[in-house]
Amino acid sequence: MTPRRPRMPRHRFPASDAGQITAFVVVMMAALILLAGLVLDGGLTLSARERALGEAQEAARAGAQAINLAVYRKDGKLMLTPGQAVADARAYLADIGATGTASATANTVTVTVTIVQPMQILDAAGLREVTVHATATATPELGINGVLP
């Protein structure tokens, strides 16, 4: 008969350490999800800001084409018809489905576009949406300035 090897006692962790790894994993996963939300939703917010700026610039340019032709033909001065400039800028915004405001003077058209960007991941943390605004101003120009490509 062969002698039996003595059994090694199983190592038991103290009761105070039970579940600490689980809590660490939960906290780390929550932090990683929050970080991913900041990256994704932050990028979407920056993209919305750039889109709002582009739309505001284009609407302002559309409004800056409302030149008062009677004054231009008489004096050669470029002046806007403010009511028509505002109407043209608003019509451009309506055509592209953007929300914004427009104002005009005899020399400039100013357009502010507002975009509400819903959050994708940070929605779970209670941040539902972010509102971004962009403002652009345009003035009428005579001819083409600079060298053409």
Closest CA to 45 of 111, 126, 128, 124: 128
Number of domains in the chain: 1
Considering the domain boundaries, does residue 93 fall inside one? yes
Would 17 be classed as within a structural domain? no
Digit-coded pLDDT (tens) for 60-112: 999 999 999 999 899 988 899 999 999 999 999 999 999 999 999 999 999 99
pLDDT digit string, tens, across residues 16-27: 655 667 888 888
Is position 36 within any domain? yes
149 inside domain: no
Does residue 69 sit in helix, strand or coil? Answer: helix
Per the listing, tokens 């109407």 go with 87
In a domain, 3, yes or no: no
Question: Rounded CA gap, 146 and 149, in Å?
Answer: 10
Let me know if residue 88 belongs to a domain. yes
Distance CA 93, CA 112 (A): 10
Residue 124, domain extent: 24-138
Kindly report the pTM of this predicted structure: 0.75
In a domain, 126, yes or no: yes
2 belongs to a structural domain: no
